[in-house]
Structure 1
């Protein structure tokens, strides 16, 4: 919380942290309808290739008119990638995927991809988060931000 004095009157200005919560975890409405996005899936790493599949879900109460998720790897991706429709490379370690509109309390279409990583890392940290939610407010950012450490074992890691 930051306090700013205006003409001798203290005005509290909430600094939003984590997309809709103030410092200390108190919910703050930031305008717009409330929706709760979540991403759940599985990732496996073997020989410098990661298989990833996840499904977006909107727990509601409002519909999401459009959403985009960011996938960020701790290791750089190889230059040439065959990405699914709706996904595009943003940076050497980042891919953005449009998940589209999601009705309230509905599951979206599953996103599946295989990406190649430079070299053959023994482990990769995958971070997933929402970068666009169509103007809705998500007061529960815990389930739309995932961090998954995937070891080069071929085992599946669920999130």
Structure 2
């Protein structure tokens, strides 16, 4: 059994009692863990879909992020990694930052559980060179600690040859 212990800190308040974040099926009724220490992690189903287009030193990445539930999420951090180094000083959307030479991180707003809302991300990235192809990986870096039992729809790897065609994921 794996238990993750966390301490909660508030402004001017000492550390509160630790809580244990566990999946419901992990804590049997007779586990002996006091109920006040057990916090069930929310469950969500984040999905990313979109396309990648390579044109010279330019890389267009479009991502549509949704949450099919069952819990709402305060936000998601989408990670876009490339096999070719990015140029420094990218012009990125307001909720994005370049983490290193190969990685861009973007934060979404709240995602309701019913999948009715979607968040769109439009990146126009500049590569350090003019490759014949690039591999782009799009995945979820952070989802607020929710459990996602279907990670296949939010973890994609796409090969984009320099054909000026859209490669869908």
Q: For structure 1, list consecutive stretches of 5 or more residues without a partner in the other structure.
A: 1-12, 15-27
Q: Which residue of 2 aligns with 1:58?
A: 67
- Which structure has more relative contact order (CA 8 Å, sep 6+)? It is 1
The equivalent position to 2:99 in structure 1, one of 71, 90, 93, is: 90
What is the DSSP-based 3-state SS (H/G/I as helix, E as strand, rest coil) of the residue aligned with 2:154? coil
- Structure 1 residue 130: deviation in Å? 0.8
Alignment counterpart, residue 102 of structure 1, candidates 104, 111, 122: 111
Give the structure with higher Rg (CA): 2
Q: How far apart, CA to CA, are the structure 1 residues paired with 2:79 and 2:23? A: 24
88, 93, 97: which is aligned to 1:79? 88
Aligned residues: CA RMSD: 1.7
Question: Which 4+ residue blocks in structure 1 deviate beyond 4 angstroms?
Answer: none
Equivalent residues, number: 135
TM-score by length of 1: 0.80
- Structure 1 or 2: larger helix share? 2
| Contact residue 43 and residue 51 of structure 1 kept, 8 A | yes
Normalised TM-score (structure 2): 0.75
User: What corresponds to 2:139 in structure 1?
Assistant: 129
> CA shift at 1:64, angstroms?
1.0
- Unaligned ranges ≥5, structure 2: 3-21, 25-39
Distance (whole Å) between structure 1 residues aligned to residue 23 and residue 57 of structure 2: 43
Kindly indicate whether the alpha-carbon contact (under 8 Å) linking 1:45 and 1:153 is maintained by their aligned counterparts in 2.
yes
